[in-house]
């Protein structure tokens, strides 16, 4: 078994320092270190869920909170009216590179309709 912490676990345990945009008892949000758009925020649960496939009914509150906070951050960053994208990648073919459930909030420029 691999006990090495991934980058999100290191951020949550403060082994890697980052400025949190938002944090409560369920989730944490911070800027992506390799942004794909002018605004690129990552929103993660404060506890480990490997992929979207590992979600169950006990995770409803945290998933709802992730979406609610994403909309609040979009308003705070003034992209709520122009628009933004929410992305959750799942597994290798879905482009998930960090196996810890996370949501991307992307905005600040006109997007396109290319998904893959």
Query: What's the rounded Cα separation, in Å, for the pair 8 and 15?
Result: 10
d(CA 92, CA 110): 27
Which DSSP letter does residue 74 get? H
Closest CA to 33 of 7, 12, 13, 14: 7
Q: How many CB atoms lie within 10 A of CB 75?
A: 11
Q: Please give the backbone phi and psi of residue 43, each rounded to the nearest 5 degrees, phi first.
A: -125, 125
Please indicate whether residue 102 is annotated as part of the active site: yes
Residue of 40, 59, 102, 104 marked catalytic: 102
Q: Catalytic site residues? A: 102
């Amino acid at each position: 078994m691999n006990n090495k912490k991934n980058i999100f676990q290191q951020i949550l345990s403060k082994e890697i320092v980052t400025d949190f945009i938002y944090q409560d008892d369920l989730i944490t949000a911070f800027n992506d270190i390799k942004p794909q758009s002018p605004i690129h925020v990552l929103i993660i649960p404060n506890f480990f869920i490997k992929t979207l496939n590992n979600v169950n009914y006990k995770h409803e509150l945290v998933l709802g909170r992730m979406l609610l906070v994403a909309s609040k951050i979009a308003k705070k960053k003034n992209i709520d009216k122009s628009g933004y994208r929410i992305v959750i990648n799942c597994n290798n073919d879905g482009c998930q590179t960090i196996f810890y459930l996370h949501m991307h909030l992307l905005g600040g420029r006109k997007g396109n309709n290319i998904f893959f």
